[in-house]
Amino acid sequence: MVFMPKKMANALLLMSGVLAVATATGAEVDQAVLDRGKEVSALCIACHMESGSGSSIEGFEYRPRLTGMNPDYMIHQIQSFRDGTRVNASMKPFADLLTDEQMHDVSHYYASLPAVKADDFEVIVSDDVLAHGKKLIYKGDWDRYIPACVACHGVDAYGIGVSFPNINGQNPAYLKKAINDWKEEIRSNDPLELMSRVAKRLTEKDIEAVAAYLASQPAVKED
């Protein structure tokens, strides 16, 4: 199925309305939720670290930063590991173990922590690679029907609403794996199949560049 620009534009327009509602309906949580969430996080710290910064085992698995993320987005990801629309052998047993309340509590707990980058990776690429990544993130490539990342992920790709997360400051290997999972249909929990359609248009060079640029940025938007 070919996803033509008009259909892409209509999908993005529809999602803008969804995002406006999602952004406006966030609710604060009380300290009891955060306390319970901290207790549940004991299951998470071996991979995602106590700080929530994430970690990696080179050539095997890359665990993302959980801080600086929308809590409802994180709840959706845990549910996706449980229902199979997102696949990871390490996450599946934990997703199956958690109750809905525990998912809620631990997601809000990590969302309450300062967003910090993991210290176990560095970005070593040429300026040309970074420039290519930045172009795709801010301008896209409409000759290939690739919209800018910021069209969905918000200002400077620091996230907006429940469906489009902050994608800055993550390990580039994790970002490449995530994009390729969309591309290869290993992951299918995106709204309106937007990410899978875009990922299938990205070349290996594009993915490398986008991941490198995003990984080089701070985990939270600086003033």
Q: Which residues sit in the known binding site for heme c?
A: 44, 47-48, 91, 149, 152-153, 195
The whole-angstrom separation of Cα 66 and Cα 53 is 6
What angle, rounded to 10 degrees, do the helices at 204-215 and 127-138 form? 90
Binding residues: 44, 47-48, 91, 149, 152-153, 195
The whole-angstrom separation of Cα 217 and Cα 68 is 13
**What are the distances in angstroms from CA 161 to CA 4, 56, 67, 76, 95?**
25, 27, 15, 12, 22
The whole-angstrom separation of Cα 196 and Cα 175 is 14
Residues in the chain: 223
**∠ at Cα 37 (68, 177), nearest 5°?**
45
